[in-house]
Amino acid sequence: MSEKHFIHDPSQLLAQALRGLSLTNPSLVVDEAQKIVRHVPAPFAQPIVRVISGGGAGHEPAFVGYVGQGLLSAAVSGSIFASPNSTQILHAIESVESTKGVLITVMNYTGDVLNFGVAVERAKARNPCLMIEMLVVDEDVGVPRSQSGKVGRRGIAGTCLVHKVTAAAAHQGKSLSEVASLGRVVLQRLGSIGVSLDRVHVPGHDGVNAKMALQHDEVELGMGIHNEAGSSRRCGSEAQSTSLVAEMLEQLISQEDPDRAFIKTLSPEAVLLVNNLGGLSPLELAGITTEVAEQLHGRYNVSTPRVYSGTFMTSLNGPGFSISLLFLQPDTSETILYLLDSPCEAQGWVSSTSTHTWGRSVEHELSNRHTSTIVDTLQQHRKQQVALNCDMAHLLQQLEAGIHEVIKAEPDVTHFDSIVGDGDCGTTLKRGAEELLKVCQKAPSNLDHFLDDVVGAVERSMDGTSGALYSIFVNALRSFFVSAAGCNSNPSLLVDRKVWVDAVGAATSALSRYTPATIGDRTLMDTLIPFQRALTSGSSPQEAATIATRAADGTKFMTAKLGRAVYVGGQESWVGTVPDPGAWGLSRFLAGIVGSAE
């Protein structure tokens, strides 16, 4: 849990955040004194039911981020993780045009329910003609009945689906009773559950009690959005995404546990919302979303006509996620999907996919003929390949030795790159080496076919700068052999030592056309160029590899002129001790293939 913030004063933070909403959406106005964000309809817009919500700050984009055309008419914010007071809420109710009525949606937390309830009663007392209803969202299945007691279940990210459906229905001109009824239908079929790697730190507060802190290998299942405890903790393999998602879906869907069987209207179709609690990378959230969808389809045979993945309701920068399922029934399925697809102008609703696009199946639209054409082209390419004659058994033996040296060197390369780069060089080289090992283990008998597979393996498994450099090199290597064999006019070549030396020279020259790197720039070229020049001048492969190793070690004393190391500060702390990771990794490979690895 990080206790570092750019804005430490929570009051200043909230005020600035609210003002920022009107900067990005000109149809919003902010009442800073009451912490209210309100949408101003276009002139002459028809009156509609106004949907209002709110709650503590720290859950952004909920709730103030859902104000806008097509979604909430207003939202009121409390302090971080604290309910707004009834006076604020009353101001929000009375700030909107309400001739068609007002629906209040509030999550089931004691402070929120009481303060919103007080405001609703005060509003009715001040305006007896006001039509107003309150909908309490309590869809969290993470806490079982035996623990929730009279308080009941909490409201979490599934609230966003309630907001979207009810507000879209209001904007379609439905009456207050119709809008509220749709909201209750959604609630009956909705369930959510969350999990987090750790708790969060609230700006301006002391740290979390040590007893509540999670260990480095623990996660908390059923954790709420205000740092409150969940129902259980998991660690080890049970804390990995596959096991966690399986348990979360079990708690959401299973009807066998009477303490948790909250959703009574299950069906073969469900809207899926995977919510980022604020601290996960989009990359990790996307992987989790895939895991959830695949388990839903594979284990429960539940299809997902709508999948929403993103940051909908946070717990500040909570390193966790929640799963919400809204099961669809034939009586309202089309209506709910239509309302979810309805466009809106609110920052918090991150999906912009249209109904038409949701209805497409691009995979079925792909032409089989197009796929066949690709296959035919590849087969024709195979027919045109040349015969390169060499001792394949000896070549594979040498390559495998070099590959194993690269795999062995991965921890060192990763350590070097974590100091002078972004830490991925070692894993990139290891990934490429492991893929090449698979190619070698197929025991290919033809060098041309083998080089073709090597090209594919490198391009498939290696990314980043290293991947591009090695891809250029192996493509140029194969191109040299094809050209030397005379292509179709003389498709045969005896590949001896001289041919290999010439091939390495040609590939190195090709690489130099795409990178300005040369000796002294602190890159892998500091290893490759000395190796190639030594071979060309008549040195044995063992001598050339020794020269390359010395050159790689010599990069310790160089100041970076290219690559990410140029941007890494504090070079004085590692110059003289840390070699260039790419240069060192290549030197290990070269040393391995000639049998001179130390």
Mean residue pLDDT across the chain: 88
- Count other Cβ atoms within 10 Å, centred on residue 161: 27
Q: Which residues contact 33 (CB under 8 A, 6 or more apart)?
A: none
Task: Compute CA distances 569 → 384, 420, 557, 580, whole Å.
Answer: 51, 9, 16, 15
Q: Are 249 and 300 in contact (CB under 8 A)?
A: yes
> In the structure, what pLDDT confidence band is assigned to residue 378 with cuts at 50, 70 and 90?
very low
Q: Which tens digit of pLDDT belongs to each residue from 10-53?
A: 999 999 999 999 999 999 999 999 999 999 999 989 999 999 99
Q: Which tens digit of pLDDT belongs to each residue from 306-364?
A: 999 999 999 999 999 999 999 999 989 999 999 999 999 999 998 878 888 888 765 55
Give helix 425-441 / helix 392-420 axis angle, nearest 10°: 170
Asked if pLDDT for residue 426 goes beyond 50, the answer is yes
Tokens of 14: 């909230």
- Identify the pLDDT of residue 383: 46
Phi and psi of 77, rounded to 5°? -115, 135
More confident: 263 or 507: 507
- Identify the pLDDT of residue 493: 73
pLDDT over 70, % of the chain: 91
Q: Examine the residue annotation and report whether 415 is marked as an active-site residue of this protein.
A: no
What is the C-alpha separation between 222 and 144, in angstroms, rounded? 9
Asked if pLDDT for residue 283 goes beyond 80, the answer is yes
What integer is the mean pLDDT of 209-229? Answer: 78
Q: Which of 357, 358, 304 is nearest to 328 (CA)?
A: 304
Long-range contacts of 416-421, Cβ-Cβ distance < 8 Å, separation of 24 or more: 416/578, 416/579, 416/580, 416/581, 416/584, 417/581, 419/568, 419/574, 419/578, 420/560, 420/564, 420/565, 420/568, 420/574, 420/578, 420/580, 420/581, 421/563, 421/564, 421/565, 421/568, 421/581
Single-letter amino acid, residue 44: F
Q: Which of 385, 496, 485 is nearest to 444 (CA)?
A: 385
459 forms beta bridges with: none
Asked if pLDDT for residue 370 goes beyond 90, the answer is no
More confident: 495 or 349: 349
DSSP symbols for 33-78: TTTEEEE-PPTTPPP-PEEEEEEEESSTTTTGGGBSTTSBSEEEEE
- Identify the pLDDT of residue 50: 98
Task: Compute CA distances 568 → 422, 573, 583, whole Å.
Answer: 9, 11, 18
More confident: 493 or 293: 293
Q: Select which of 5, 39, 226, 404 is catalytic.
A: 226
- Identify the pLDDT of residue 239: 75
The number of helix segments (H) and strand segments (E) in the chain equals 21, 14
What is the C-alpha separation between 450 and 432, in angstroms, rounded? 15
Single-letter amino acid, residue 405: E
CA angle 318, 320, 322 (to 5 degrees): 120
> In the structure, what pLDDT confidence band is assigned to residue 571 with cuts at 50, 70 and 90?
low
Asked if pLDDT for residue 115 goes beyond 60, the answer is yes
Phi and psi of 456, rounded to 5°? -65, -40
> In the structure, what pLDDT confidence band is assigned to residue 374 with cuts at 50, 70 and 90?
very low
CA-based diameter of the chain, in Å?
100
Cis peptide before 128 (omega within 30 of 0): no
Q: Which tens digit of pLDDT belongs to each residue from 160-189?
A: 999 999 999 999 999 999 999 999 999 999
pTM equals 0.74
Report the SS3 class of residue 407.
Answer: helix
Q: Give Cα 366 to chain centroid, integer Å.
A: 27
Q: Are 130 and 98 in contact (CB under 8 A)?
A: yes
Asked if pLDDT for residue 59 goes beyond 70, the answer is yes
What integer is the mean pLDDT of 147-157? Answer: 83
Asked if pLDDT for residue 255 goes beyond 90, the answer is no
Task: Compute CA distances 169 → 74, 105, 420, 439, whole Å.
Answer: 16, 14, 55, 58
Report the SS3 class of residue 133.
Answer: strand
What is the C-alpha separation between 13 and 18, in angstroms, rounded? 9
Q: Which of 229, 321, 323 is nearest to 276 (CA)?
A: 321
> In the structure, what pLDDT confidence band is assigned to residue 123 with cuts at 50, 70 and 90?
very high
What is the C-alpha separation between 244 and 241, in angstroms, rounded? 5
> In the structure, what pLDDT confidence band is assigned to residue 487 with cuts at 50, 70 and 90?
low
- Identify the pLDDT of residue 209: 59
Tokens of 153: 């279940």
Asked if pLDDT for residue 382 goes beyond 50, the answer is no
Q: Sign of torsion, CA 341 343 346 351?
A: positive
Alpha helices (runs of H) in 145-188, residue ranges in sequence order: 145-148, 159-171, 176-188
Most confident of 86-100, 226-240, 383-397: 86-100
- Identify the pLDDT of residue 157: 96
What is the C-alpha separation between 95 and 30, in angstroms, rounded? 11
> In the structure, what pLDDT confidence band is assigned to residue 570 with cuts at 50, 70 and 90?
low
Single-letter amino acid, residue 365: E
What is the C-alpha separation between 461 and 433, in angstroms, rounded? 9
Strands 50-57 and 36-39: unpaired
Q: Which tens digit of pLDDT belongs to each residue from 41-58?
A: 999 899 999 999 999 999
- Identify the pLDDT of residue 444: 79
Asked if pLDDT for residue 108 goes beyond 50, the answer is yes
What integer is the mean pLDDT of 378-402? Answer: 74
Per the annotation, binding residues for substrate are 56-59, 112
Tokens of 408: 């062995």
Give helix 241-253 / helix 282-300 axis angle, nearest 10°: 50
